[in-house]
Amino acid sequence: MHHGWRDRIHCADQDNGGMMAGSAFLAVDWGTTNRRAYRIAADGSVEATERDDRGILSIEQGGFPAEAAAIRARMGDLPMLCAGMVGSNRGWAELPYAPCPNGIEQLSSAVQWVEPDRTAIVPGVACFRNDRADVMRGEEVQLLGAVIGGLTPRDALLCQPGTHCKWAWMVDGRIDRFVTAMTGEIFSLLQRHSLLAVQMDGQVEPNAAFLRGVADARDGDLLVRLFGVRADFVTGRAVDADATSYVSGLLIGTDVAARLGEGAQPVYLLADPMLGALYSAAIEVVGGTAILADSHAAFIHGITHIWRTLS
Amino acid sequence: MHHGWRDRIHCADQDNGGMMAGSAFLAVDWGTTNRRAYRIAADGSVEATERDDRGILSIEQGGFPAEAAAIRARMGDLPMLCAGMVGSNRGWAELPYAPCPNGIEQLSSAVQWVEPDRTAIVPGVACFRNDRADVMRGEEVQLLGAVIGGLTPRDALLCQPGTHCKWAWMVDGRIDRFVTAMTGEIFSLLQRHSLLAVQMDGQVEPNAAFLRGVADARDGDLLVRLFGVRADFVTGRAVDADATSYVSGLLIGTDVAARLGEGAQPVYLLADPMLGALYSAAIEVVGGTAILADSHAAFIHGITHIWRTLS
């Protein structure tokens, strides 16, 4: 089963982000709850895609080789390069975090093979800055891919909204530092389990209530503003239909204001359309500029580049 | 069943906080999940106390008169004055909030009888300030009672820690304004339902980890600091035994810093010993001074004073 693609020379320096010919492979973005798999042709084009809910939490201990075989049975018998939580202690194998600042060459050199010449995993990245630690697994491929693919400048602030929102400051094409905000998870906890849950059964939209939440967040007093949602309700000052969007605005507004506090700058958003619209609206309220970038394309650029340095 | 105690003259002005003779009554602090009842003698002394978990959520619709009868059967057939969530839409009767600024005379004049000359309820207080609304039900009796009983000055910042932490600025003995922070509820959500839950099985103590949380909270970036608890764990920088106290420190530190941001001042804490110790420690880190006051004594002072204006 040796394909010979590991014997080729390291070609990262000659690549310069272009779509040089390489070998075909399977790329898997393997997260906690979801998984995306792509068959990427020798010319870099995406020939097949699948998405399912076979995230690492749904795979039993020791079940990863069988999962990889099942992907190959569906998508082609090719070498596979994985990224994301699959490299955590709950995944296929626990890889040490690569240090920050981190560029695509450093990240590529830390890739580890879990099936010799057959299946490899890209490590996550850790950032230690003053007294703060932060970690990511999977987002680093998107971040570096966004720069390599020309979707963002080499010096830029990038944001990946979600359950745990990542903000990364790119310097000369590398991840210089990053922070993770628990924005999406706190929203979910409030919606599902809090005193406010009964009010939060609406959809989140970048509407007037959302924008009011973003504006109210600017005083930095989130813990009080959250109780205000209840107070507005029991005193008849606001209607429940607004509560979900307002709370989302409070949380996203708090997150955005903390990041852009040192002065407005463009933010490149790697986001799905809904979160992209919400973060864009919040960033504009705070005086920044938001630019949407294609997060899937960023992942493809990044993982393909890493693959070519290996193969 | 008319006892004649409603016909007496309003004696608040002559009272001055002393324990003038009045009539005996039952005082009930009737909250969402807990309830405290006191038999208060004509001389103001507490003759009997009971505490149980018969908060309003455990009482079925229409069940309040029977509950009051059961309290009288145990504690004495006396008139009853209740405060707390019993005056909410989920309680015995929904009373409108009394406006802020609010003194004990205004509060007394808004008491409503739910059983004529037999059982009365003290209303909650609402505060509208700029674009913020806030509400309380039950805490107002403690706050005003603390001043009347001489437990705190007439001009002071008072704090009642808990699931929903109340901060009240007293001016000339009245509640001038107040805010509610969702500090305790967010802690509980994180401990029970979040990514951090697995790390948060320890006890909260005002130890080094707690103080580190308070200090870290001063950058105002709670959403990022919370994820840092996870990052510290997966990178081996912190031990799980510290996580519960650290998260408590982050949240209480965020709450305290927001309140004392405009300059240090003494804070009078109406708190149980555990929360009192935690808030005291946090207030001192921020440069303030904490003074513990007896919250039960404050309630007795407040409810007794209100009773005497009625009887």
Joined together, the tokens standing for residue B33 give: 């999940």
Question: Are A101 and A174 contacting, i.e. CB atoms less than 8 angstroms apart?
Answer: yes
Q: What is the mean pLDDT of residues B137-144?
A: 97
Distance CA A105, CA A15 (A): 11
Question: What average pLDDT does the structure give for chain A?
Answer: 91
Q: Which residue of A has its CA nearest to B231?
A: A134
Distance CA B76, CA B39 (A): 8
Beta carbons within 8 Å of B97's beta carbon, 6+ residues apart = A235, B123, B124, B125, B126, B135
Helix, strand, coil share of chain B (percent; to 5): 40, 25, 35
**Distance from B7 to chain A by nearest Cα, in Å?**
33
Residues of A in contact with B132 (CB under 8 A): 224, 228, 231
Q: Which residue of A has its CA nearest to B259?
A: A221
Joined together, the tokens standing for residue A117 give: 């010449």
| CA-to-CA dists, residue B105 to A236, A249, B18, angstroms | 26, 40, 16
Distance CA B41, CA B253 (A): 41
Instruction: Closest CB to B194: pick one of A180, A183, A189.
Output: A189
pLDDT at residue B21 in the model: 58
A116-125 pLDDT, tens per residue? Answer: 999 999 999 9
Is pLDDT at A2 greater than 70 in this prediction? Answer: no
Q: A43 vs A264, which has greater pLDDT?
A: A43
Q: Do A189 and B185 touch (CB under 8 A)?
A: no
Distance CA B306, CA B16 (A): 12
Is pLDDT at A3 greater than 60 in this prediction? Answer: no
Distance CA B103, CA B81 (A): 18
Q: Do B223 and A126 touch (CB under 8 A)?
A: no
Q: Do A131 and B216 touch (CB under 8 A)?
A: yes
pLDDT band at B208; cut points 50, 70, 90:
very high
Mutation target for B interface from A94, A160, A182, A192: give the one with most B CBs within 10 A. Answer: A182
| CA-to-CA dists, residue B108 to A26, B118, B119, B124, B143, angstroms | 74, 16, 14, 11, 14
pLDDT at residue B200 in the model: 96
Mutation target for B interface from A227, A247, A248, A279: give the one with most B CBs within 10 A. Answer: A227
Quick check: helix, strand or coil at residue B296?
helix
**Distance from B73 to chain A by nearest Cα, in Å?**
34
**Distance from B249 to chain A by nearest Cα, in Å?**
14
pLDDT band at B241; cut points 50, 70, 90:
confident
Distance CA A90, CA B230 (A): 14
* CA torsion through residues A275, A281, A287, A291, sign: positive
Q: Do B131 and A216 touch (CB under 8 A)?
A: yes
Distance CA B108, CA B117 (A): 15
Question: Tokens 């970048």 belong to which residue?
Answer: A206
Q: Do B224 and A131 touch (CB under 8 A)?
A: no
A residues 19..78 contacting B (CB < 8 A): none
* Buried residues in A66-75 as b, exposed as e (16+ CB within 10 A): ebbeebbeeb
Would you identify the CATH topology of the domain B12-151+296-310? Nucleotidyltransferase; domain 5 (3.30.420)
CATH class assigned to A181-293: alpha beta
Instruction: Closest CB to A223: pick one of B183, B194, B224.
Output: B183
Residues of A in contact with B247 (CB under 8 A): none
Residues of A in contact with B250 (CB under 8 A): none
**Distance from A29 to chain B by nearest Cα, in Å?**
21
B262-292 pLDDT, tens per residue? Answer: 666 899 999 999 999 999 999 999 999 999 9
- CATH placement of domain A12-151: 3.30.420.300
pLDDT at residue A4 in the model: 35
**Domain residue spans of chain B:** 12-151+296-310, 181-293
Q: Determine contact: A93 vs chain B, CB below 8 A.
A: no
Q: Do A133 and B237 touch (CB under 8 A)?
A: yes
* Same fold yes or no, A12-151 and A181-293: yes
**Distance from B220 to chain A by nearest Cα, in Å?**
7
